[in-house]
A and B are shown apart, each in its own frame.
Chain A
Amino acid sequence: MSEEQDNNKVVYQAQSSETMGGSASPSPDMDYVRPAEIPEQDLYHGHSFITKWVFCQDAKVIGVQYFLTAVFTGIVGLILSWLMRLQLGFPEAAGFMTAEHYYQFVTMHGMIMVVYFLTALFLGGFGNYLIPLMVGARDMVFPYVNMISFWMFFIAVAVLMASFFVPGGPTGAGWTLYPPQTILEGTPGSGMGILLMLISLSLFVIGFTMGGLNYLITVLQARTRGMTLMRMPLTVWGIFTATVLAMLAFPALLVSAIMMTLDKILGTSFFMPTIIQAGEVLEYGGGSPILFQHLFWFFGHPEVYIVALPAFGIVSDLISVHSRKNIFGYRMMVWAIVGIGALSFFVWAHHMYVSGMNPWFGFFFATTTLIIAVPTAMKVYNWILTLWRGNIRLNTVMLWCLGFIVTFVNGGITGIFLGNVSVDVPLSDTYFVIAHFHMVMGIAPLMVIMGAVYHWFPLVSGKMLDEGLGKWHFWITFLGAYSIYFPMHYLGFIGVPRRYFEMYDSPYMASATGMNEFISMAAFIVGAAQFILIYNIIKTLKTGKKAGQNPWKANSLEWYTSTVPPEHGNFGERLPVVHRWPYDFSVPGAKEDFIPQTTPPSEVVHTKVEKT
């Protein structure tokens, strides 16, 4: 190895003296970037169809594989939500659906959307595609492990989907899988359904750990020359921090899944108290259901930020590029991401105010929950200040970003309500909670995903998505999502409980029947509107106009690959050398309104460029 490294050093030295203007003098030149310290990565190039497109070791292909699989599960989740809304809005039209079915759909919708759709899409999809490109690496550092990671995820999805077809159907315990009812008879899918769910989650965790190690080490150890941590795009920061959270939070999920599996098949009593079922005392006794809730939410709360942080990062980049202005307070944004990530491990029991835990915890967790609102609010201010007096281009991407900011603020403010114990107790388990988390971690990250798809599709495929269709897609989704979730806040305030199959004839429900029907109609329309995007993608792939290199005039490295779309190895002969952050837009004195990260300082001497 050492011999090879030496050879590389010679090559890089030549390169660096080249950038120093041919002079080999050691005096630090303006454009000096120190030589490469890591040897050129050894890449495995696939030759057959199987090694190129199926068991592929190229992070970009793996990213697309993750993306497509996650979108498939997302569509399943969408159909389940339609069925739920059909039951809630028009119960007479949903005669085929029993209460058991409804609970199963609720559970699977929740689990699919949080874990198998959003997490996989952001970290597996965008992470794999963008991290190596944005930090200037040839590929992820362990391509083989990366490939295994995707296939573990694929098997996890297959196992999850298989649970629809086993006797008893999938589990219907709610996505939080709270014991004891999860594994007791009477809960739908308490046989094979819950087992397959737990196995699938364990597989997901194992697969994700493999992927997560790749993302972390690629960001930490495989950046290109000149790429310091504080020159990375915020997208990478968001995905990186979310991956750190995932690596530390998923263990708690794995442990609780293992323990519940043992409770189910061996009859241990980790989580199971003494229970009388149908007049009969069960074998269980002495376990603590609260323990599961603590373990689950020790995972579950960081999970919220695993979904939110990549969205924060991506939206920062999109806003900056499409308003042609540097991101306001870049360092503050980075530290806010890191701070939110760190704090997210100290807030978990705010999901458990009504669980019967130690009453003193309410104080501790309400305090930490309100503290975490500070860095989050800082980010919102910074996005708005980035837009302030920017050269805003009101294209589809920007519309999604603006939609995100509004939705996120909305969901965030209801979060302040729910973070306080005394307000949460009457509101918990009502539609207010549903409205809150769908706004803040459902719709808001989804808007970012949509914006990101419109933004990076030209890179992935080389073709521009249709703007007209995109705007229809946005407006229907945006207005529709508000039609769905705004009324839900009200439903929560009048006390409509979540997870109920049918509201029967409660007096307060009589006033809400019309509202329920309205919400359901909106949900059908919004769901259907998502297929506009799929149509748009298919249409664009067939007849779309060519994008060319860097259609948005962005600065970050992914737009400066040797070919569009980038091939295996990303950057052709030589890796790019980075001299600045990716946000040099509209710099006074510069010829164009953007300065790519690879532009050396000597070319922009007369501009008022930020020193980064």
Chain B
Amino acid sequence: MADPKIEGYQFKPGFKGMASDTGSDQTMFKGVHWGKAMMWIFLLSDTFVFSCFLISYMKGRGSTLIDWPNPSEVFGLHVFGVDVPLLLIAIMTFVLITSSGTMALAVKYGYEKNRKMCGWLILATAIGGLTFVGMQAFEWSKLIHEGVRPWENPFGAPQFGSFFFMITGFHGTHVSIGVIFLFIYAYKVFAGHYDNKKRGWFTSMKGDYVEIEILGLYWHFVDLVWVFIFAFFYLW
């Protein structure tokens, strides 16, 4: 975020700033909270997890001799007598982006110490996430009903089902974990834990609104991963 004032330290922009930040004592990421730096590094590690999943998917799909099913048809919905390709996926994307936007605003209001607004926006994000998980459950059950299994499917290469359930399942797990934390943090915000710096239940460390930004980073990352899954799995 914006540069804080640090006693005795001159902020410089761009690569010069990077050099002087890196060469300075105490901290490398100036003014970045420990928890936020940790979340960033964790997300970097998690990016490698999803990258490995998607690379495996690329290798599997690229080298199969049996035709890969056409995702546009497989994930299509039949509504009002018309076949709409990828309708459900489009709605899921819409929901996830909506929740990402509310989360971004929640972070903003959190920094402005607007407790009510921040709490409601986190709650909205949580509900968006919950809707997404629900729609994913619907999608899974629809595909299972049509005979798609992790080990086989009626449309083509058996790896289609394997990769689909594994990758969306892993992403869905991330969303679910995020939703649980969103509800917890919505409670914590409404209860004013960050205004009176109540200590955490487990870590017994003092609370602060920066935790909302950390949670926000995680939530945007989940959205980010969906962007890649949407492009590579559903559209490609």
Contact = CB atoms under 8 A, between A and B. Distances in A.
Contacts of B7: 9, 13, 34-35, 37
Contacts of B166: 258-259, 262, 268
B44 A247 contact: yes
Contacts of A254: 49, 52
Interface in A539-557: none
Given A213-B38, A213-B41, A1 B208 contact: yes
Given A228-B25, A229-B28, A34 B8 contact: yes
Contacts of B159: 268-270, 286-287
A221 interface: yes
A371 interface: no
Given A1-B208, A248-B45, A251-B45, A268 B25 contact: no
B9, B56, B158, most chain A CB atoms within 10 A: B56
B64 interface: yes
Interface residues of A, number: 60
B117 to A, nearest CB: 20
A42 B207 CA distance: 12
A168 B37 CA distance: 45
A247 B52 contact: no
A288 interface: yes
Interface string A221-237: 11111111111000000
A213 B34 CA distance: 10
Given A38-B26, A216-B41, A251 B48 contact: yes
B85 interface: no
A295 B48 CA distance: 11
Interface string A389-426: 00000000000000000000000000000000000000
Contacts of A145: 203
A44 interface: yes
A217 B202 CA distance: 20
Please indicate which of the listed interface residues B38, B42, B44, B63 has the most CB atoms of chain A within 10 Å of its own CB.
B38
Interface string B12-56: 000000000011111111111011011001101110110111001
Contact of B45 (A209, A217, A285): A209
A134 B35 CA distance: 22
B115 to A, nearest CB: 15
A502 interface: no
B151 A141 contact: no
Contacts of A212: 45
B168 interface: no
Interface in A178-215: 209, 212-213
Interface string A32-53: 0111111000101000000000
A298 interface: yes
Given A38-B27, A247-B41, A291-B60, A270 B162 contact: yes
Contact of A217 (B34, B56, B150, B205): B34
B6 interface: yes
B44 A295 contact: no
A216 B27 CA distance: 12
Contact of B22 (A223, A225, A229, A256): A229
Interface string B182-195: 00000000000000
A221 B150 contact: no
Contacts of B32: 221
A53 to B, nearest CB: 18
Q: Which of A212, A229, A255 has the most CB of B within 10 A?
A: A255
A267 B52 contact: no
A213 B42 CA distance: 7
Nearest to B24: A228
Interface string B59-94: 110011110000000000000000000000000000
A213 B31 CA distance: 18
B34 A251 contact: no
A281 B27 CA distance: 60
Contact of A230 (B23, B63, B204): B23
A225 B38 CA distance: 21
B206 interface: yes
A291 B59 contact: yes
A221 B158 contact: no
Interface in B208-234: 208
Interface in A295-329: 295, 298
A224 B26 contact: yes
Contacts of A221: 26-29, 32, 34, 37
Contacts of B53: 255
Contacts of A267: 150-151
Contacts of A42: 205-206
B143 interface: no
A227 B28 CA distance: 11
Contacts of B142: none
Contact of B9 (A34, A228, A255): A34
A137 to B, nearest CB: 10
B26 A227 contact: yes
Contacts of B205: 42, 144
Given A213-B41, A227-B25, A291-B56, A286 B157 contact: yes
A230 B24 CA distance: 9
Interface in A34-79: 34-38, 42, 44
Nearest to A263: B162
Contacts of A9: 7
A530 to B, nearest CB: 34
A148 to B, nearest CB: 9
Contacts of B157: 286
Contacts of B48: 247-249, 251-252
B189 to A, nearest CB: 16
Nearest to B30: A37
A220 B29 contact: yes
A266 B151 contact: yes
Given A252-B48, A255-B52, A217 B158 contact: no
Given A259-B166, A269-B159, A251 B49 contact: yes
Nearest to B162: A268
A142 to B, nearest CB: 7
A209 B39 CA distance: 11
A37 B27 contact: yes
A12 to B, nearest CB: 8
Nearest to B54: A255
Interface of A: 1, 9, 13, 33-38, 42, 44, 141-145, 209, 212-213, 216-217, 220-231, 247-252, 254-256, 258-259, 262, 266-270, 283, 285-288, 291, 294-295, 298, 578
15 contacts: A1-B197, A1-B206, A34-B25, A217-B34, A217-B37, A222-B34, A223-B27, A224-B26, A231-B25, A247-B48, A248-B45, A254-B49, A266-B151, A268-B159, A298-B52
Interface of B: 6-9, 22-32, 34-35, 37-38, 41-42, 44-46, 48-49, 51-53, 56, 59-60, 63-66, 150-151, 157-159, 161-163, 166, 170, 197, 202-206, 208
